């Protein structure tokens, strides 16, 4: 059993009955050192970096640039001038997409399993700037076909933009080989590193990407913190998304000169508390170590995968082996809406998972699927979390027995059986995510949900 010495560092897991939080692929929990670093900014030196000369401003400026150096070191010792602080990875990808000097007919290569953040910007540019979108199809079993990539790169491609690790099923792409192949054909390379960076040591010098986008809120940091890491010479070619305060070296009523990267991309007052907190998150991850992060996630994924392997009505998404998707267990249950499954697990077993289409609508639309359930593991999860997930899945399958199914599979059609009443929620994030009934509670520590209603 994996010891969980860091669980006490996470306030969200405090209390006598902490939840089994298995939604870290969406957003990780925040440890106390990160919260303390953010609070210290507001309490001890709440100034504006780079503007005033008093001690508050000097201190926040020093810490803000220290965070930039920390990110550069964390990602393999890249040039700190290639670290741009933004709101999230979505903004980072948009900065590259909107900032490159496109010519009509330029090609961008993506995969058929990209997050909306790495899809919509290119669709928009296709409509507005005349670029062409090329799509690399990825096998559902998690394998990668280098010949398919080479075939698409046989014609000139301006930019290859792919995920490093998928938020859909947890697979990782051979990013170093992809970057080498793309560069040999004269293409720039952008990787969405949101799911990789929290779980493994990413050496950008070794990978060789031109741009790499991450979000702090997936790696123990606060919301509203993201980073675009890029080669300084590649960043020089980008047009800023926003200009104004702090982006210019000088201005007159008729002209201005932009500062060099990264400062030309960081307009206006920054999220100083967030960036300082994100730095503390990097320190925390470094202390734990990625070997331990990986070991914990894989141990729990193996336990869940093996325990549920015999459930014939459970359809696994992505590679069969947990070693090929160590942080994610994505599944659907035949005849049960994935949102109902998520509500059942939350209300009945205190297990928090993600349901729906995971911002990869295109993947499900092409297959006619209603979505699936995704459990994601991180360094603060322990064996009881995995056991709670296993128990919840087994219980909902038992309550919605084979005789209640309409003969369809969750992988082929929308199910009609719903484990709860037909009452819908009001407006709010839960209603938007679930669109289905709240399971009924029972007394006692274990809260089971009713599975007697129909859809």
- Taking the C-alpha atoms of residue 89 and residue 92, their distance in angstroms, rounded to an integer, is 5
Q: Which of 26, 48, 194, 359 is catalytic?
A: 359
Q: 272-288 and 32-44 helices cross at what angle (nearest 10)? A: 150
Letter string b/e over residues 77-95, b meaning 16 or more CB atoms within 10 A of that residue's CB: ebbbbbbbbbbbbbbbbbb
Tokens of 227: 């980073």
Contact 129, 108 (CB under 8 A): no
> What's the start-to-end Cα distance of the chain, in Å?
40
- For residues 226 and 205, give the distance between their C-alpha atoms in angstroms, rounded to a whole number: 20
Asked about 359 being catalytic, the answer comes back as yes
> Packing angle between helix 290-308 and helix 383-399, nearest 10 degrees?
20
Residues carrying an active site annotation? 359
């Amino acid at each position: 059993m994996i010891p969980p010495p860091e669980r006490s560092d996470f306030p969200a897991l405090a209390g006598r009955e902490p939840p089994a939080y298995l939604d870290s692929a969406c957003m990780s929990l925040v440890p106390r050192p990160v919260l303390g670093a953010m609070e210290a900014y507001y309490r001890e030196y709440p100034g504006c970096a780079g503007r005033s000369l008093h001690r508050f401003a000097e201190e926040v400026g020093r810490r803000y640039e220290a965070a930039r150096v920390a990110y550069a070191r964390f990602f393999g010792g890249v040039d700190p001038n290639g670290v741009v602080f933004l709101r999230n990875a979505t903004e980072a990808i948009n900065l590259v997409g909107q900032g490159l000097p496109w010519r009509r007919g330029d090609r961008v290569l993506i995969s058929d399993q990209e997050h909306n953040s790495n899809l919509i910007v290119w669709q928009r540019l296709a409509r507005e700037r005349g670029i062409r979108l090329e799509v690399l199809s990825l096998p559902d079993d998690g394998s990668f076909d280098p010949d398919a990539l080479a075939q698409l790169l046989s014609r000139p491609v301006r930019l290859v933009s792919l995920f490093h690790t998928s938020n859909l099923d947890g697979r990782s792409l051979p990013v170093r080989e992809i970057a080498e192949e793309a560069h040999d054909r004269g293409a720039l390379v952008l990787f969405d590193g949101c799911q990789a960076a929290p779980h493994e040591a990413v050496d950008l010098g070794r990978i060789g990407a031109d741009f790499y986008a991450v979000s702090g809120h997936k790696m123990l940091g606060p919301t509203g913190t993201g980073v675009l890491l890029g080669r300084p010479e590649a960043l020089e070619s980008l047009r800023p998304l926003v200009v104004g305060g702090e982006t210019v070296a000088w201005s007159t009523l008729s002209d201005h000169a932009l500062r060099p990267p990264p400062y030309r991309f960081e307009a206006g007052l920054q999220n100083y508390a967030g960036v300082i907190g994100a730095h503390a998150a990097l320190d925390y991850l470094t202390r734990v170590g990625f070997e331990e992060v990986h070991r914990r996630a894989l141990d729990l994924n193996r336990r869940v995968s093996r325990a549920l392997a015999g459930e014939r009505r459970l359809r696994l998404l992505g590679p069969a082996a947990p070693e090929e998707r160590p942080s994610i267990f994505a599944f659907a249950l035949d005849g049960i809406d994935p949102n109902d499954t998520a509500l059942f697990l939350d209300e009945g077993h205190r297990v928090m998972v993600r349901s729906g289409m995971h911002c990869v609508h295109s993947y499900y639309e092409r297959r006619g699927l209603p979505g699936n359930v995704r459990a994601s593991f991180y360094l603060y999860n322990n064996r009881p979390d995995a056991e709670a997930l296993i128990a919840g899945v087994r219980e909902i399958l038992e309550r919605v027995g084979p005789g209640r199914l309409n003969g369809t599979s969750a992988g082929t059609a929308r199910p009609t059986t719903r484990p709860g009443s037909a009452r819908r929620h009001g407006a709010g994030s839960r209603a938007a995510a679930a669109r289905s009934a709240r399971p009924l509670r029972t007394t006692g520590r274990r809260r089971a949900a009713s599975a007697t209603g129909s859809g």
